[in-house]
Amino acid sequence: MKCTADIFCLLSLLALSFRSVAQAPDIDPSFPVARNGKLQLISDQFSFTEGPAADAGGNVFFTDQPNNKIWKYDTNGSLTVFMDNAGRANGLYFNRRGELIVCADENNQLWSLSPGGKISVLIYDFQSKKLNGPNDVWINKKGDMYFTDPYYQREYWKRTKPDLKLQSVYLLKQGSHNLVSVEDSLVKPNGIVGTPNGKCLYVADIGASKTYRYTINKDGTLGEKKLFAEMGSDGMTIDNQGNLYLTGNGVTVFNKDGVRIKHIPVPAKWTANVCFGGENNDWLFITASDKLFKIKMQVKAAN
């Protein structure tokens, strides 16, 4: 996720790198969008939206990081503030207990929020050093959390350089307080999502304009690494057909073999993130600059 004015130039450069992929012809002009499905604007009252995540009921939570809020869009179409002073929340994800896991980069932490909004800090640092800024998170069925930690300088930080030399992907196993680095060879890891069976993890290296697929070992560490797409991504999600949704210039969809099948144009300077939600988990929600959109799909959430 990127939101502050000092990186708008970077966004423009990244958008150019996405454009050649996004403008390629669709293999299937309709799939995976529902027949007659059209992009619908929910609201444009924000500064920079990010981190959409749906709870078990299909209600969608997302962040407005510059305004330090987490919002909720429920299945009845009601839009409300879920949390003020939200730790400059970025990426979000619900665990199986209904707790909202928050990448809170105001103090470079990982939080857990109860349904009532009570904060528990899960991670304060790594090897006694501040994290770069937890960005996006994915949780498997066992409760193990994988999150990316790129460095984007924030105007609300006192520091002006990272404490850590590397920008890594981390694993926090269920019930553990021991944070483990599972990938530290990427330029700038950002979007992350895994398959429902817990066997594969996708990580976007937005700094290198590439997305990789890793096998997940039995102990949770990452095994074989393969290039999935010659495209980076800010946030991402996966559907129940195994298609992967990458963001930046709109939303670009790849099938499980890494073949581009669809591009969804989004009228915004930058498309940051996506998730499935709604009562039947068949709406794709898109956070894009100061806006929140949705579009009806033929497919559903993977999990």
Name the phi and psi angles at 120, rounded to 5: -125, 125
Identify the pLDDT of residue 196.
94
Sequence-distant (6+) residues with CB within 8 A of 25 are none
Residue listed under structure tokens 């993130």: 273
Mean pLDDT within 148-175: 95
pTM of this structure: 0.91
Domains of the chain: 5-296 (2.120.10.30)
The residue type of 110 is L
What Cα–Cα distance (Å) separates residue 26 from each residue in 22, 253, 257? 9, 10, 15
- Reading the block at residue 70, the tokens are 């987490």
Q: Is the peptide bond before 29 cis (omega within 30 degrees of 0)?
A: no
Q: How far apart are CA 84 and CA 261, in angstroms?
A: 39
Tens-digit pLDDT profile for residues 73-103? 999 999 999 999 999 999 999 999 999 999 9
Residue 150 has pLDDT above 50, yes or no: yes
Mean pLDDT within 59-76: 97
Using alpha carbons, select from 271, 211, 253 the residue that is nearest to residue 26: 253
Tens-digit pLDDT profile for residues 93-138? 999 999 999 999 999 999 999 998 899 999 999 999 999 999 999 9
Identify the pLDDT of residue 14.
54
Sorting pLDDT into bands at 50, 70 and 90, what band is 36? Answer: confident
The residue type of 244 is L
Residue 12 has pLDDT above 60, yes or no: no
- Reading the block at residue 11, the tokens are 């966004």
Identify the pLDDT of residue 5.
44
Q: How far apart are CA 52 and CA 129, in angstroms?
A: 28
Q: How far apart are CA 137 and CA 190, in angstroms?
A: 9
For the chain, the three-class secondary structure string (H helix, E strand, C coil) is: CCCCHHHHHHHHHHHHHHHHHHCCCCCCCCCCECCCCCCEEEECCCCCEEEEEECCCCCEEEEEHHHCEEEEECCCCCEEEEEECCCCEEEEEECCCCCEEEEECCCCEEEEECCCCCEEEEECCECCECCCCCCCEEECCCCCEEEEECCCCCCCCCCCCCCCCCCEEEEECCCCCCCEEEECCCCCEEEEEECCCCCEEEEEECCCCEEEEEEECCCCCEEEEEEEECCCCCCEEEECCCCEEEEECEEEEECCCCCEEEEECCCCCCEEEEEEECCCCCEEEEEECCEEEEEEECCCECC
Mean pLDDT within 159-182: 95
- Reading the block at residue 283, the tokens are 């709406």
Tens-digit pLDDT profile for residues 214-244? 999 999 999 999 999 999 999 999 999 999 9
Residue 9 has pLDDT above 60, yes or no: no
Rounded CA Rg of the chain: 17
CA 202 to centroid of chain Cα atoms: 11
CB–CB of 287/277 below 8 Å?
no
